[in-house]
């Protein structure tokens, strides 16, 4: 049933909704959605930063690789398919270059460069290792004989020039290293195409005209490739040939990530909202009222998004994906507020707000603080999530207390309706000692498995479809894993600087203690050394070719040439390089790498920034650690070592997890100690947290799941959010004292409801297809579920023992101050400290004995304006046989005073001049520090009523606040300002005016004395005048 419209401030509701929508729209227009998950890795770690720099700039970032497969062993047919595919790709207009055409065209030019500059390309070590073995008569004979055989074949056209300049094929040892630039070493080149080892697959690479990570362009690429696949298959199917194309590239990951994440985000927000809405419908006496619980969460999230847009240009789509969970997190205060408002009796919004504020403030502070702690994380995505979530939760909490009371100033009584939620909450809370024992045993069992492992696989940060995953596995099975090597990047603003950097890198690799380091690597300096390296190589060449070695080789060459039919002087150009290498070198060449050869030697030029980049790769020898390699060469080149990257990321995840716990745990403990001011109660509140941490880590281990990047939020989930359930229950126990209190019943229902709503939100994420969202959902689901379970199993017996159990009475020798404070032992810290400092600092309690003059032991006492009941408890302790009846306008203070008095009295809500109901005439009445709040009319009426309520020998004890005479009465000024701003109005009177009114109402003033050193507090000890003596 929906309350009548007059009970809801419709204008405020509409204004709030429209305002939130406007803020969200403005934020949406101002903020870009960032889908690059890898960019969230820390940039202050050199290993990770180097890897990300290579990710961003490697040509393979945009390059598309297509595996072409046929169903038969026919290499020429496979080449024909590859050429047809290349033509179709070029005709699509979406690619800048396709295949190896450019490389094939430039390869002869590169060979010429190498052959003409042999004296500049060999180091002393290379001459001894690679050239010296070729100088034996057997090797020379085999080389010349090989040339003769090749000259007789058709493909030897154009090779004759190389015989004269390089009869020993010295160039081959240099050019062979170009193979290490190929996408795979499990291949061979046939007719200009890269063919797999089994001869059934051909590799075609293509560079698109746009960024492959641009999802709009990626869609065009995907559509074009599907069209080409269909047309190519149709073209060859008529000949009975089955052609299979398997394209792989960043475009697939970008497209899959966007599609999967957007679908998961939409589903998370939609189903989380629907699930929570269903829960709300079955939890409230008036179901539609429950739906308004979503309003603070939605408005808080929208407002947080707007504020975010004021300071940031973009937000990670992962943070928005967490938005559905944020809604479920921040809905708890709205639920609790409306549960207090939707009651069988008329309820008021401000009173509901006060109840929730008292109980929920600490929970909000711990949650906001925990998420705010993420801002110290080195992961950018965590910093974003921390700021966004902290703002959303804080705005939601403020909305509940500032806006909700204006939308719902009051609600009429609801109709009776049987609801399962309170019964479920009561049943969960009544497990008793059995539940505690079960929780302890379960936690002990989980502790055996609670050994967190960490998953540092960066590939898990991007989720691809099953089709993309299958394509990647197929490519890897055919062509090998290209990411098993170490990648190196050198870059410079000029080509000359790049050559110098490459020279330094190559020199470092050559001088490395591990001689095998260069066995599978290529650097341009091997073919295009800089000036210093060219000079050093030339000197080494001269030193290597001693006269004896040169004469022996010339003699052996001539003999072999004669034997195989070569003309005299056929090798004269090569012999000239041995005798006079400087004159044999091309005079016009300065060693600069021709731009036309960039693609062939692995160099790229960034047109936008005029930066030259050289990419290469190598395989670390067995036993050569990635840490050692990075430390030795990181100053020369940017390095990506997949194995080192994973180890470093894993160590970072461990340190981040430890750091978050080290920050959040002390903050939470300190907050609890401040708010509880009770070490034992703090430990009780933390017990479910320890249970949830052990149970979650143990369950993840049993599930075979290691902690990945989203799982690092486990500390936030449990310490920041899961502890909320404990705090709600502990604070409720402090506030209401007993588990069967109606307010406590509502809090239990709210905890069940909020935990269920949060589980719905995270449960939806756990079903997501994207790995990160799914991991965040599973971890959060377990953490929140175990936190709620621990709160309901562990806390009830512990709290019942700590709070409800009446402490043994203190002996009279302990002192009245200790006995009064003991009555407040299990209450909220503010109340406990108020009572303690009131007893210790207020001179009232040391002076009351001198003001009170009862003719006999009192049995009934009245306390007007009881406050928190400290004076009433003093009276109960001083006069054990008396019963105190008080009245107090503040409901919260009435609650506290009644708990403190226990069976020694009763305080009712009300405002003087009303009186508390007493069963008989009172022996005494007390008006302590409250008379200045009464108007003259109310004061006179109160005194008259007290005269009637007191017995024949009744006493009236008044302490009144007087107008100060000090020069700087700061406290008085503050109270006056507060009175003017929020009320109530004050009425200060002189001693004479007070005594006159007291006498007029039938009392005799027996004692007037000063209570403080400044005369601002004055005692009036009065007795009821005998009949006929007073002026009635």
Full 3-state SS string of 348-409: EHHHHHHHHHHHHHHHHHHHHHHHHHHHHCCCHHHHHHHHHHHHHHHHHHHHHHHCHHHHCC
pLDDT of residue 837 exceeding 70: yes
C-alpha to C-alpha distances, 376 to 381, 649, 713, nearest whole angstrom: 11, 17, 13
pLDDT average, residue stretch 112-125: 87
User: In this predicted structure, what is the pLDDT of residue 1?
Assistant: 40
User: In this predicted structure, what is the pLDDT of residue 463?
Assistant: 54
- Comparing 167-176, 258-267, 775-784, which segment has the lowest mean pLDDT? 258-267
Give the pLDDT confidence of 580-609 residue by residue, as tens digits: 888 777 766 666 788 777 777 778 877 666
pLDDT of residue 457 exceeding 60: no
- Is 888 strand, coil or helix? strand
């479809």: which residue's tokens?
A: 465
- Is 93 strand, coil or helix? coil
pLDDT of residue 273 exceeding 90: no
User: In this predicted structure, what is the pLDDT of residue 873?
Assistant: 95
Do the Cβ atoms of 55 and 459 come closer than 8 Å?
no
pLDDT of residue 763 exceeding 60: yes
Give the pLDDT confidence of 164-189 residue by residue, as tens digits: 888 898 888 888 777 776 666 667 77
User: In this predicted structure, what is the pLDDT of residue 885?
Assistant: 96
Give the pLDDT confidence of 645-666 residue by residue, as tens digits: 877 877 777 777 778 778 888 8
As a whole number of angstroms, the distance between CA 883 and CA 150 comes to 121
pLDDT of residue 831 exceeding 70: yes
User: In this predicted structure, what is the pLDDT of residue 499?
Assistant: 87
Do the Cβ atoms of 336 and 359 come closer than 8 Å?
yes
Angle at CA of residue 809, ends 804 and 810, nearest 5°: 130
User: In this predicted structure, what is the pLDDT of residue 4?
Assistant: 42
Helix (H) or strand (E) holding 244, with range, is strand 243-249
- Is 479 strand, coil or helix? helix
Q: How confident is the model at residue 3 (pLDDT cuts 50, 70, 90)?
A: very low
As a whole number of angstroms, the distance between CA 566 and CA 335 comes to 98
- Comparing 613-622, 644-653, 690-699, 720-729, which segment has the lowest mean pLDDT? 644-653
User: In this predicted structure, what is the pLDDT of residue 154?
Assistant: 46
User: In this predicted structure, what is the pLDDT of residue 862?
Assistant: 96
Q: Which phi-psi region, left, alpha or beta, contains residue 602 (left: φ > 0; alpha: ψ -120 to 50)?
A: left
Q: pLDDT averaged over the chain? A: 82
Do the Cβ atoms of 607 and 119 come closer than 8 Å?
no
Q: Where are the alpha helices (DSSP H) in 71-212?
A: 75-91, 101-116, 124-126, 137-151, 160-165, 170-175
pLDDT average, residue stretch 310-314: 89
As a whole number of angstroms, the distance between CA 890 and CA 911 comes to 9
- Is 207 strand, coil or helix? strand
Q: What DSSP state is assigned to residue 943?
A: H
pLDDT of residue 6 exceeding 50: no
Q: State the DSSP string of 911-935.
A: -TT-----SS-EEEEEEES-GGGS-
User: In this predicted structure, what is the pLDDT of residue 306?
Assistant: 93
C-alpha to C-alpha distances, 340 to 2, 64, 343, 908, nearest whole angstrom: 16, 61, 6, 21
Q: How confident is the model at residue 1005 (pLDDT cuts 50, 70, 90)?
A: very high
The 8 Å CB, 24+ separation contacts for 58-62 are 58/487, 58/489, 58/615, 59/207, 59/604, 59/615, 60/250, 61/212, 61/213, 61/250, 62/207, 62/208, 62/211, 62/212, 62/213, 62/249, 62/250
Q: Residue 740 CB: number of other CB atoms within 10 A?
A: 10
Answer whether the bond into residue 913 is a cis peptide, omega within 30°.
yes
Tokens of 795: 């806390």
User: In this predicted structure, what is the pLDDT of residue 1030?
Assistant: 47
Q: Residue 243 CB: number of other CB atoms within 10 A?
A: 20
As a whole number of angstroms, the distance between CA 38 and CA 316 comes to 11
pLDDT average, residue stretch 319-324: 64
User: In this predicted structure, what is the pLDDT of residue 663?
Assistant: 82
User: In this predicted structure, what is the pLDDT of residue 2?
Assistant: 42
User: In this predicted structure, what is the pLDDT of residue 261?
Assistant: 64
Q: All domains of the chain, ordered by start, with CATH?
A: 5-31+283-412+421-457+647-802 (1.20.1640.10), 62-100+192-264 (3.30.70.1130), 816-1024 (3.40.50.150)
Q: Where are the alpha helices (DSSP H) in 767-890?
A: 771-799, 816-822, 829-841, 844-851, 870-878
As a whole number of angstroms, the distance between CA 449 and CA 438 comes to 18
The distance of Cα 272 from the centroid of its chain, to the nearest Å, equals 19
pLDDT of residue 964 exceeding 60: yes
User: In this predicted structure, what is the pLDDT of residue 955?
Assistant: 93
pLDDT average, residue stretch 443-450: 89
- List, in sequence order, every beta strand (DSSP E) within 438-527: 486-492
- Is 645 strand, coil or helix? helix
Do the Cβ atoms of 313 and 35 come closer than 8 Å?
no
pLDDT average, residue stretch 743-753: 83
Give the pLDDT confidence of 847-888 residue by residue, as tens digits: 988 889 898 999 999 999 999 999 999 999 999 999 999 999
pLDDT of residue 1031 exceeding 50: no
Output 938 or 254, whichever has higher pLDDT.
938
User: In this predicted structure, what is the pLDDT of residue 378?
Assistant: 77
As a whole number of angstroms, the distance between CA 52 and CA 580 comes to 48
pLDDT average, residue stretch 130-135: 91
Q: Which phi-psi region, left, alpha or beta, contains residue 77 (left: φ > 0; alpha: ψ -120 to 50)?
A: alpha
Do the Cβ atoms of 615 and 505 come closer than 8 Å?
no
Output 1003 or 175, whichever has higher pLDDT.
1003
- Comparing 191-195, 218-222, 854-858, 948-952, which segment has the lowest mean pLDDT? 191-195
User: In this predicted structure, what is the pLDDT of residue 298?
Assistant: 86
Tokens of 832: 């406990």
User: In this predicted structure, what is the pLDDT of residue 709?
Assistant: 66
Do the Cβ atoms of 72 and 241 come closer than 8 Å?
yes
- Comparing 191-200, 258-267, 436-445, 796-805, which segment has the lowest mean pLDDT? 258-267
User: In this predicted structure, what is the pLDDT of residue 103?
Assistant: 64
Tokens of 1019: 């005692």
Cβ density class 482-503: b for 16+ within 10 Å, e for less:
beebbbbbbbbeebbebbbbbb
Answer whether the bond into residue 324 is a cis peptide, omega within 30°.
no
Q: State the DSSP string of 212-235.
A: TT-HHHHHHHHHHHHHHHHHHHHH
User: At what angle are helices 323-330 and 294-311 packed, to 10 degrees?
Assistant: 130
């Amino acid at each position: 049933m929906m309350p009548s419209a007059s009970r809801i401030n419709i204008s405020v509701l509409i204004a709030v909704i429209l305002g939130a929508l406007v803020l969200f729209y403005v934020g949406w227009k101002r903020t870009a959605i960032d889908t690059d998950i890898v960019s969230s890795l820390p940039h202050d770690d050199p290993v990770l930063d180097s890897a990300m720099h290579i990710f961003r700039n490697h040509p393979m970032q945009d390059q598309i690789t297509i595996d072409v497969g046929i169903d038969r062993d026919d290499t020429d047919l496979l080449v024909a398919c590859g050429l047809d595919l290349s033509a179709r790709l070029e005709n699509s207009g979406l690619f800048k270059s396709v295949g190896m055409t450019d490389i094939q065209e430039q390869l002869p030019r590169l060979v010429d460069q190498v052959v003409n500059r042999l004296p500049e390309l060999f180091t002393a070590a290379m001459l001894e290792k690679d050239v010296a073995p070729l100088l034996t008569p057997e090797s020379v004979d085999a080389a010349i004989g090989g040339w003769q055989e090749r000259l007789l074949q058709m493909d030897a056209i154009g090779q004759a020039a190389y015989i004269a300049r390089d009869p020993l094929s010295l160039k081959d040892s240099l050019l062979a290293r170009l193979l290490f630039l190929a996408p795979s070493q499990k291949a061979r080149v046939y007719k200009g195409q890269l063919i797999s080892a089994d001869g059934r697959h051909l590799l075609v690479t293509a560079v698109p005209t746009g960024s492959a990570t641009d999802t709009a362009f990626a869609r065009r690429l995907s559509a074009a490739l599907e069209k080409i696949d269909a047309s190519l298959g149709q073209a060859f199917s008529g000949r009975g040939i089955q052609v299979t194309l398997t394209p792989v590239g960043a475009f697939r990951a970008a497209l899959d990530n966007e599609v999967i994440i957007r679908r998961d985000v939409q589903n998370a927000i939609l189903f989380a909202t629907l699930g929570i809405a269903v829960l709300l419908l079955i939890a409230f006496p008036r179901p539609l009222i429950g739906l308004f619980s979503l309003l603070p969460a939605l408005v808080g999230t929208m407002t947080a998004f707007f504020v975010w847009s004021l300071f940031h240009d973009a937000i990670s789509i992962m943070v928005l994906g967490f938005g559905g969970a944020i809604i479920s997190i921040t809905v708890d205060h709205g639920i609790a507020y409306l549960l207090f408002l939707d009651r069988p009796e008329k309820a008021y919004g401000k009173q509901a707000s006060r109840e929730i504020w008292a109980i929920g403030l600490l929970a909000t502070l711990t949650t906001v603080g925990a998420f705010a702690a993420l801002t110290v994380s080195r992961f950018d995505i965590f910093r974003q999530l921390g700021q966004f979530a902290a703002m959303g939760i804080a705005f939601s909490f403020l909305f509940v207390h500032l806006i909700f009371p204006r939308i719902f100033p009051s609600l009429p009584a609801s109709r009776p309706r049987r609801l399962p939620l309170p019964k479920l909450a009561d049943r969960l809370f009544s497990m008793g000692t059995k539940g505690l024992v079960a929780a302890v045993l379960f936690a002990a069992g989980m502790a055996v498995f609670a050994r967190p492992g960490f998953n540092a696989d960066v590939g898990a940060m991007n989720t691809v479809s099953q089709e993309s995953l299958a394509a990647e596995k197929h490519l890897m099975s055919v062509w090998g894993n290209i990411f098993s090597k170490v990648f190196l990047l050198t870059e410079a603003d000029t080509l000359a600087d790049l050559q110098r950097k490459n020279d330094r890198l190559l020199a470092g690799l050559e001088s490395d203690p591990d001689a095998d380091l260069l066995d599978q690597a290529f650097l341009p300096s091997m073919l295009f050394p800089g000036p210093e390296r060219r000079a050093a190589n030339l000197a080494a060449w001269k030193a290597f070719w001693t006269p004896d070695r040169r004469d022996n080789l010339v003699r052996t060459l001539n003999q072999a040439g004669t034997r195989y039919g070569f003309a005299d002087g056929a090798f004269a150009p090569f012999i000239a390089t041995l005798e006079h290498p400087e004159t044999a070198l091309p005079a016009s060449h300065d060693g600069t790498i021709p731009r036309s050869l960039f693609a062939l030697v692995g160099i790229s030029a960034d047109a936008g920034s005029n930066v030259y980049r050289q990419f290469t790769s190598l395989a670390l020898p067995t036993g050569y650690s990635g840490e050692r390699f990075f430390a030795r060469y990181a100053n020369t080149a940017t390095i990506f070592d997949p194995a080192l990257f994973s180890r470093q990321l894993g160590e970072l995840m461990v340190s981040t997890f430890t750091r978050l716990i080290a920050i959040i745990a002390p903050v939470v403990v300190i907050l609890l100690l401040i708010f509880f001011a009770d070490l034992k109660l703090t430990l009780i509140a933390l017990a479910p947290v320890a249970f949830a941490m052990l149970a979650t880590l143990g369950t993840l281990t049993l599930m075979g799941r290691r902690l990945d990047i989203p799982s690092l939020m486990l500390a936030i989930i449990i310490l920041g959010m899961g502890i909320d359930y404990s705090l709600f229950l502990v604070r409720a126990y402090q506030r209401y004292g007993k588990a069967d209190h109606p307010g406590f019943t509502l809090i239990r229902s709210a905890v069940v409801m909020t935990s269920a709503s949060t589980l719905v939100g995270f449960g939806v994420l756990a079903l997501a297809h994207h790995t990160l969202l799914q991991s965040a959902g599973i971890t959060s689901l377990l953490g929140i579920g175990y936190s709620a379970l621990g709160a309901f199993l562990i806390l009830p017996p512990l709290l019942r023992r700590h709070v409800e159990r009446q402490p043994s009475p203190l002996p009279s020798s302990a002192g009245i101050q200790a006995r009064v404070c003991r009555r407040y032992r299990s209450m909220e810290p503010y109340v406990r400290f108020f009572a303690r400092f009131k007893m210790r600092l207020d001179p009232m309690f040391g002076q009351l004995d001198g003001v009170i003059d009862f003719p006999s032991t009192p049995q009934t006492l009245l306390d007007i304006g009881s406050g928190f009941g400290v004076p009433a408890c003093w009276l109960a302790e001083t006069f054990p046989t008396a019963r105190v009846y008080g009245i107090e306008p503040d409901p919260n203070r009435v609650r506290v005073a009644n708990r403190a008095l226990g069976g020694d009295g009763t305080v009712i809500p009300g405002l003087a001049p009303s009186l508390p109901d007493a069963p008989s005439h009172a022996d005494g009445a007390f008006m302590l520090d409250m008379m200045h709040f009464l108007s003259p009319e109310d004061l006179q009426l109160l005194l008259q009523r007290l005269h009637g309520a007191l017995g024949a020998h009744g006493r009236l004890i008044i302490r009144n606040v007087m107008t100060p005479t000090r020069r700087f009465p700061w406290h008085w000024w503050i109270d006056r300002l507060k009175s003017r701003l929020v009320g109530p109005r004050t009425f200060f009177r002189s001693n004479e005016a007070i005594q006159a009114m007291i006498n007029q109402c039938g009392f005799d003033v027996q004692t007037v004395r000063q209570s403080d050193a400044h005369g601002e507090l004055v005692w009036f000890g009065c007795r009821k005048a005998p009949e006929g003596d007073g002026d009635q």
